[in-house]
Structure 1
Amino acid sequence: MVSPSSGARASNPPATALIELRDIRKSYGGHVRGPDGKPVPAVDVLRGVSLSIHPGEFVAIVGASGSGKLTLMNILGCLDRPTAGQYRFAGQNIAAFNADELAWLRREAFGFVFQGYNLIATESARENVKVPAIYSGIPATERLARATALLTRLGLEQRLDHRPSQLSGGQQRVSISRALMNGGHIVLADEPTGALDTKSGAEVMHLLEELAETGHTVILITHDREVAARAHRIIEIRDGEIIADSGNSRPPTTHAPLDVQAFIETMRDSAAHTASFIADTREALRAAWRVLWINRFRTLLTLLGIIIGVAPVIVMLAIGAGTERQIIEKMASFGTNRMYVIPGGDSPRGPGGTLSETDADIVRDVPNISAAMPFLQGSVTVRYSNIDTQVPVWVVTDQASTILNWKPERGIFFTAKDEQQLATVILLGKRVREKLFGDSNPVGHYVLVNNVPFQVIGELEEKGATSGDADDDNVVLMPFSTGSRRILGTTNLSWISVLIDRLDLADQTARQVTDTLEAAHHVRDFQVYNRAASVKAQTETQNTLTLMLGLIAAISLLVGGIGVMNIMLMTVRERTREIGIRMATGARQRDILRQFLTEATVVSGIGGVVGVACGLLVGTILIVAGVPAIFSVRAIIGAFGCALLTGLVFGFMPARQAARLDPVVALASE
């Protein structure tokens, strides 16, 4: 037998009806107005239908086309609701059932065998049969085994992986297998032999008789009286009314019908629960991938919109970050990441003031300051052999290389040990070296500085003019201890050079330096020159430009999202019948919503991954070509996240539209 049931069945129907209809009416129209503005009269399809069907009955509802039998079947199968009247299932009023409970009934109680088969065109025979079990949460291995067994029993073991278009006359058998997948306690068959030849039609009727013999309740909808005669009870309907009912003439059998009370209790416990979230998501991903692969050309066009949106965001932000870094480094080479503390107040009539090494120590302890260097400037005469020249001298500490961002091109910089020992060592700027040594290497030679011998330990790299007529290459550098005490004879500083860590805190740091020194001097006899503020302003400007570039690139991502929405709306329209099939086999609204949201997210996710790869590739090519670009992990993750969010946001409306479709309307679409 196709699907055995348990227990023993009495010869007489039990008192409790499985299905009971009381004065069921169904009308269409009446709520719209015609061209003349008058209401269009309602069309009554069912006019007070009342009947009871008990578990285990084999009923044929027979009538001509337009008699209302198909509408009656849709109401019986909970695909449609009556306009008036009462439908009680196992004693429960269907009108009180919510959407999840109705979906559960369609999934667990009913099995539909449609005249047009209503198979999902993109799925194989086995996948079609598994659909009701998917929404029941049956494990994948069990679904596979059950679907294979049902199709094998119906002679389709060689065509398990064929799609409906490849099955020829086997579609109805697949439809019957699907109806039995979750047990098929009540089989609703709509003209099951209408599109079949005589032999195939006889085989299908034999299968339905077997189901009836094994305890299934079979409700057959047909216009063929010879087919109806195979049932044990014949109900004739005409113009929306029952005009004849033969009553149940089923012979005694040993099989028990469905225990309706136990069944309804099960529904109360499990109507809102199916598979786990992970299992549902996995199945949605599988189905989404199948649909997207079958329509891969259209999918590719949709992907392009996302790719073109993601890649420019990554490239633009990388170029913006690289350009910002380059500008800051160039400005830093001119000291714009520094502050200067200069002796003398704001007012020319105020105190003159002096700065000392102690003040540099005080400033160094202010937060956000990485270095504070005493700086003494003067002029000396430097002689080598018979050549001498008057040049500026910078008397600095061993931190000068970092603070001034100035490194030796030859030799080394002096050290803290040279400071402590008052070493007579000196570094020459490029212009000074050219005057004294020409093209020769000066490192290791001795020069006279104001008649004091100094060993040249390094030549500074070329820096060029910084502003106006100043030429930093026409200077010499020596240790502060040596220069202040042995050459210039003073420790009163020309200024204090301050290097800060964070440019965004430049203004706050300048105020803290001012407050700290003023507290130490008890008077403001100095000024703080905040050149770092200019770098901060430049950085903020560059950040604004980078943001603009990112926003411009994000517009293309928005366009890609609109493309996703358009494609998904088209997909919903094309797959309306599939949505109806899934609802008829037990899919809840949230299942349909998840399915289409998953498809939109998969498209966006794949587009995001490819877009990130393209952005990295283009950025790498630009870096090789010499364009300043710095990839940001945050930007990459953000661009990919925006792509996924685009799929969710722009896919939600089409998905919700799909989930809200009426099952009957969806099944009737072409």
Structure 2
Amino acid sequence: MDRTVGDAPPLIALREIRKQYGGNIDGAPAVEVLHGITLNIQAGEFVAIVGASGSGKSTLMHLLGCLDRPSSGTYSFSGRDVATLDGDELAWLRREAFGFVFQGYHLIATESARENVEVPAIYAGMPEEARAERAAALLTRLGMADKLDNRPTQLSGGQQQRVSIARALMNGGRIILADEPTGALDSKSGAEVMLLLNELADAGHTIILITHDRDVAEQARRVIEIHDGQIIADSGVSAVKQALPAPDMAQAGRDAGASFWDDLREAARTAWRGMKMNRTRTSLTLLGIVIGVASVIVMLAVGEGAKQRVIDEMGSLGTTIMYLGSGHPSNGGPPGRLTIEDLDAVAALPEIGHVMPIIGDPVTVRYGNVDRQVYAFASSNAMPLVHRWRVAQGRFFTAAEDRDIAPVVVIGHKFKENFFPDGSNPIGKQILIVDAPFEVIGVMAERGADSGSQNYDEMVFIPYQSGRMRVYDARAEPDYTVVEAASEEQVQAAEAEMKKLLIARRGSDDFRIGNAAAKLQAAAQTSNAMKMMLGLIAAVSLVVGGIGVMNVMLMTVRERTREIGIRMATGARQRDIMRQFLTEAVLVSLVGGVIGVVSGLTIGGILLLSKVPVIFSVTAIVGAFACSVATGLIFGYMPAKKAAALDPVVALASE
């Protein structure tokens, strides 16, 4: 039985709708595109809105589809004022009520025909298997059964428009908003699309057709003409045989939409496909994360291994040697920092022979075209005496040179062979330690390494103050301090007196003493300064990688602006868009973190095979990986937020 306007309230009711652009505080002139549009559309009608280019018909369609808001006037949908709906409720309405068919098709280029059709159902929370079946059924119904897996570039214009129509019907498509659906098609394809729209109208769908072609408009059952933002003609409401029920506005925004896991899986799938399609850019982005994670793992492992072996070797040199370093108090709290004044007080004890602060780490040393990682041992001039080690050529540095921060260096026997293979005299030559020039003043006698310990012959020895200021960035405290008792018999007494003195001076036992006479019961602790330096290196490496992620994600948002508009038009909420792009950023960092961990362990394994001292830290590995994931979240947030804040109309209009 036919039903007319008098039988039911209108599905869509516009009252004095105006739309203005510009006129903001930036001084742009105000331009009013719609001038007081008043219009009722009944459920089940097939309406054509016809007008020339620039008449305001597309702006009207965007308002009808809740992609834009009017500047003034009232838009009621099924009796509910649309102005009272928030962002999630508008997304719900677009998802449940509207299906868009665009002149430019607006298909996602990286998705297949079936995947494009599925997009609205993803945000409606339809299970994956169910939406795949429905998408395939809709495409089959529209004669696209053999094109399910084809991407848009593999389809003709008519076929792309059929995919667009199937997408519009995916969530029911109670109202089809078709913007110039035949404008980019040949006459045959255009006729087929119009036939489909008439069939949908017969099935009870409300069809709103936007066109400039009067011949196309005449195929609708009601024609509204718009000119200069005003309705100038309306053929009147046509009889409606049947109409699909309007969505229950009481449920607006109450559904959960896409589930977290479905949305996450969809975002991960989209991100992975994008990464594969942009392999070069993805590889360069991953490189920053990989280098950051791998460098943290390898540097910590090499640093810890080298330090441990040096300490082990030093402990084997004699039973009068103890090692003093910072540590956590026994009752809890942060580790202490031993000062030079503390060390001077220890040196004044009668049981103590020498106090020698040490800073040491593998650093880059250069001479001519030779460039190697060498352990730079910064200590006082007492080093040869404490370790019973003589100088074979030249001399050792003096206390005055140490005090004056003199750029002088004594090299090991094997270092000389590596950097001066021609047998030339190294005395007086300049070598670069990191970026600081040092003059060679002596060569140590050959010593070797015991039981695979650090090879002292490959080291360079520099004054403590020179190392602290010129090489190790003004480090505030030593890595550890070698304390020699006055005699072997006084070792235990020296340890006890040293402990008593330091507790009295510092008020707590925030230090550790390793006693070689007691078989070095505790390994020397890594200094806070070393931890800080390695932490900063890790932070810089990962920040660089994070900036790369952010740049790529910003570029991705720019490249996929239209896709974002499509997803919003099909019902995506702002948080859906943000979650998708955050997931993509985290996925990049996650993959980079995994590769970085594998690379770091591989490099460490190679170093171990090369007999380089390496001690891996599970904490460092887990921490580096966690930092890589956090980098994705932190540096992906801004691009994700920018994507979510895009205006749907502006996004759809982008190229």
TM-score when scaled to structure 2? 0.70
1:297, distance to aligned residue in structure 2 (A): 1.4
- Aligned pair count reads 487
| CA 338–227 in structure 1, closer or farther in 2 if over 3 Å, else same | closer
Per the alignment, residue 641 of structure 2 pairs with 656
Per the alignment, residue 460 of structure 2 pairs with none
| CA 536–234 in structure 1, closer or farther in 2 if over 3 Å, else same | farther
Residue 563 of structure 2 corresponds to residue 562 of structure 1: no
Per the alignment, residue 190 of structure 1 pairs with 179
Residue-by-residue CA offset, 1:285-308 (whole Å, 9 max, x unaligned): 111111111112111110011111
| CA 508–282 in structure 1, closer or farther in 2 if over 3 Å, else same | farther
1:119-158 alignment, distance < 5 Å: 119-158=107-146
Q: Which amino acid aligns with 2:21?
A: Y
Per the alignment, residue 14 of structure 1 pairs with 7
Q: Indicate conservation of the 8 Å contact 2:22/2:28, yes or no.
A: yes
1:628, distance to aligned residue in structure 2 (A): 1.1
Q: Which amino acid aligns with 1:46?
A: L
Q: Indicate conservation of the 8 Å contact 1:107/1:585, yes or no.
A: yes
Q: Indicate conservation of the 8 Å contact 1:320/1:542, yes or no.
A: no
Residue-by-residue CA offset, 1:421-461 (whole Å, 9 max, x unaligned): xxxxxxxxxxxxxxxxxxxxxxxxxxxxxxxxxxxxxxxxx
1:333-348 alignment, distance < 5 Å: 333=316, 334-335=318-319, 336=321
1:269, distance to aligned residue in structure 2 (A): 3.3
1:502-521 alignment, distance < 5 Å: 507=499
Residue-by-residue CA offset, 1:198-250 (whole Å, 9 max, x unaligned): 11111100100011111100000011111111111111100000011111223
| CA 314–586 in structure 1, closer or farther in 2 if over 3 Å, else same | same
1:330, distance to aligned residue in structure 2 (A): 3.0
1:326, distance to aligned residue in structure 2 (A): 1.8
CA distance in 2, matches of 1:171, 1:145: 19
Residue 28 of structure 2 corresponds to residue 45 of structure 1: no
Q: Which amino acid aligns with 2:611?
A: G
Per the alignment, residue 201 of structure 2 pairs with 212
Q: Indicate conservation of the 8 Å contact 1:608/1:643, yes or no.
A: yes
1:266, distance to aligned residue in structure 2 (A): 3.0
1:100, distance to aligned residue in structure 2 (A): 0.3
SS in 2 for 1:21: strand
Q: Which amino acid aligns with 1:64?
A: A
CA distance in 1, matches of 2:603, 2:253: 58
Equivalent residue for 2:566, pick from 581, 590, 594: 581
Per the alignment, residue 259 of structure 1 pairs with 245
Equivalent residue for 1:617, pick from 584, 598, 602: 602
Per the alignment, residue 172 of structure 1 pairs with 161
Residue 94 of structure 2 corresponds to residue 109 of structure 1: no
1:67-86 alignment, distance < 5 Å: 67-86=55-74
TM-score when scaled to structure 1? 0.68
Per the alignment, residue 300 of structure 1 pairs with 283
Q: Which amino acid aligns with 2:31?
A: V
Q: Indicate conservation of the 8 Å contact 2:513/2:522, yes or no.
A: no
Q: Which amino acid aligns with 2:304?
A: A
CA distance in 1, matches of 2:263, 2:211: 37
Larger Rg: 1
| CA 597–511 in structure 1, closer or farther in 2 if over 3 Å, else same | closer
Residue 596 of structure 2 corresponds to residue 608 of structure 1: no
Q: Which amino acid aligns with 2:183?
A: G
Per the alignment, residue 430 of structure 1 pairs with none
Per the alignment, residue 224 of structure 1 pairs with 213
Q: Which amino acid aligns with 2:551?
A: N
| CA 510–629 in structure 1, closer or farther in 2 if over 3 Å, else same | same
Residue-by-residue CA offset, 1:317-351 (whole Å, 9 max, x unaligned): 10121123223323443444699xxxxxx999xxx
CA distance in 2, matches of 1:56, 1:124: 31
| CA 165–497 in structure 1, closer or farther in 2 if over 3 Å, else same | same
1:536, distance to aligned residue in structure 2 (A): 11
Q: Indicate conservation of the 8 Å contact 2:574/2:645, yes or no.
A: yes
1:115, distance to aligned residue in structure 2 (A): 0.6
Q: Indicate conservation of the 8 Å contact 1:322/1:628, yes or no.
A: yes
| CA 533–103 in structure 1, closer or farther in 2 if over 3 Å, else same | farther
1:32, distance to aligned residue in structure 2 (A): 5.5
CA distance in 2, matches of 1:45, 1:289: 42
CA distance in 2, matches of 1:129, 1:507: 75
Per the alignment, residue 24 of structure 1 pairs with 17
- Runs (5+) with no aligned partner, structure 2: 325-347, 351-482, 505-511
Per the alignment, residue 246 of structure 1 pairs with 235
Q: Indicate conservation of the 8 Å contact 1:320/1:546, yes or no.
A: no
Per the alignment, residue 226 of structure 2 pairs with 237
Per the alignment, residue 319 of structure 1 pairs with 302
Q: Indicate conservation of the 8 Å contact 1:320/1:543, yes or no.
A: no
CA distance in 1, matches of 2:261, 2:254: 21
Q: Which amino acid aligns with 1:259?
A: P
Q: Indicate conservation of the 8 Å contact 1:316/1:553, yes or no.
A: no
1:16, distance to aligned residue in structure 2 (A): 1.3
CA distance in 1, matches of 2:618, 2:2: 69
Q: Indicate conservation of the 8 Å contact 1:186/1:219, yes or no.
A: yes
- Runs (5+) with no aligned partner, structure 1: 1-7, 34-38, 340-345, 349-465, 473-493, 513-528
Q: Which amino acid aligns with 2:607?
A: L
CA distance in 1, matches of 2:500, 2:227: 90
Residue-by-residue CA offset, 1:368-414 (whole Å, 9 max, x unaligned): xxxxxxxxxxxxxxxxxxxxxxxxxxxxxxxxxxxxxxxxxxxxxxx
1:550, distance to aligned residue in structure 2 (A): 4.0
Residue 566 of structure 2 corresponds to residue 592 of structure 1: no
Per the alignment, residue 626 of structure 2 pairs with 641
Q: Indicate conservation of the 8 Å contact 1:16/1:54, yes or no.
A: yes
1:374-413 alignment, distance < 5 Å: none
CA distance in 2, matches of 1:277, 1:111: 24
| CA 664–498 in structure 1, closer or farther in 2 if over 3 Å, else same | farther
CA distance in 1, matches of 2:493, 2:3: 101
Q: Which amino acid aligns with 1:166?
A: Q
Residue-by-residue CA offset, 1:581-604 (whole Å, 9 max, x unaligned): 110111100011011111111111
Q: Which amino acid aligns with 1:103?
A: A
SS in 2 for 1:49: strand
| CA 469–32 in structure 1, closer or farther in 2 if over 3 Å, else same | closer
| CA 210–636 in structure 1, closer or farther in 2 if over 3 Å, else same | same
Q: Indicate conservation of the 8 Å contact 1:110/1:188, yes or no.
A: yes
1:533, distance to aligned residue in structure 2 (A): 11
1:621, distance to aligned residue in structure 2 (A): 1.1
SS in 1 for 2:257: coil
1:541, distance to aligned residue in structure 2 (A): 5.8
CA distance in 2, matches of 1:239, 1:551: 63
Q: Indicate conservation of the 8 Å contact 2:322/2:484, yes or no.
A: no
